[in-house]
Amino acid sequence: NDPMPSRAPLVSTHKATSRQVPIGGRDIYTLTLTPGDDPAVEGPWLVFLHEGLGCTAMWHDFPQRLAQATGKPALIYDRQGYGRSGPRRRPSTVGYLQEEAETILPALLDHFGIEAPFLIGHSDGGTIALLFASRFRRRAAGVITEAAHVFVETVTLEGIRATRHAFEHGGLEDQLSRYHGTRTREMFYHWADVWLSAAFRDWNVEACLPLIRCAALVIQGRDDPYGTVRQVEAIASGIGPRARSYLIPSCGHAPHREAPRRTLAAMRRFILAARRPPDPVTPGRTAST
């Protein structure tokens, strides 16, 4: 594991700009990071998609570090009902990930004039990235997933039940309320209730994977309590030779927090290598260090 406190303080060369953007009848909180003071920003952009209980602030300084390491501009945003964005228009349904990928995300990219970004998604955000890249095949320069899911596993449901117990009987609600405020309970149960519903048991988006045409980096901690290596194998084999897998030992569900150096280095290599033709790889090849 990479201990977070030992990292040097970040001296950012990127300008941070936050704003509320009206999308789908609701305000979406966004944060952009642009290199220097030059108004002419050259892409491709990095677009960060947060986890099921996350938000922009819960990425901490990882987006700034990756943007600075690659010299790329970045966009981070809170989905509806999360963080500093406006409330949801309606309760989450089984298709909430698909709706985000096919409606909200493309509208947000259009608003900022972002073409063909690198999509960097954690957990739910990783699944959204995959769905977007499969639906809009010319609009993604690359996909990086951390702990993404493409089907439901028993271990996932067990992990969510444990998280629900921690929310109801532990200190998780207080921790999350620092980021989501008065909507914390609504946000939590919209997520947990969908995943634990009978209607979601057969959820599976593996069929979308062969449609993805861009390169992909599939990252997961070996000790992830919400998913097994089967998720990584399914994503990598489904996308084919354009995908590389990276399993991080002694790491759980959030590689960018639990193993930040390894995760940042792997993402940086992937993003910078996308400027040139990729090396031939074996479909589903898995690396581990």
Q: What is the pLDDT of residues 130-172, one digit of tens each?
A: 999 999 999 999 999 999 999 999 999 999 999 999 999 999 9
Give the confidence band of 8 by pLDDT, cuts at 50, 70, 90: low
User: Which pair of structure tokens corresponds to residue 5?
Assistant: 């406190």
Helix, strand, or coil here: 210? helix
User: Which pair of structure tokens corresponds to residue 284?
Assistant: 């589903």
Give the confidence band of 92 by pLDDT, cuts at 50, 70, 90: confident
Whether 191 has a pLDDT exceeding 60, the answer reads yes
Distances from the Cα of 61 to the Cα of 12, 161, 257, 269, angstroms = 10, 29, 10, 19
Give the confidence band of 29 by pLDDT, cuts at 50, 70, 90: very high
Q: Give the whole-angstrom CA distance, residue 82 versus residue 85.
A: 6
Give the confidence band of 218 by pLDDT, cuts at 50, 70, 90: very high
Q: What is the pTM of this model?
A: 0.91
Identify the pLDDT of residue 7: 55
| Average pLDDT taken over every residue of the chain | 90
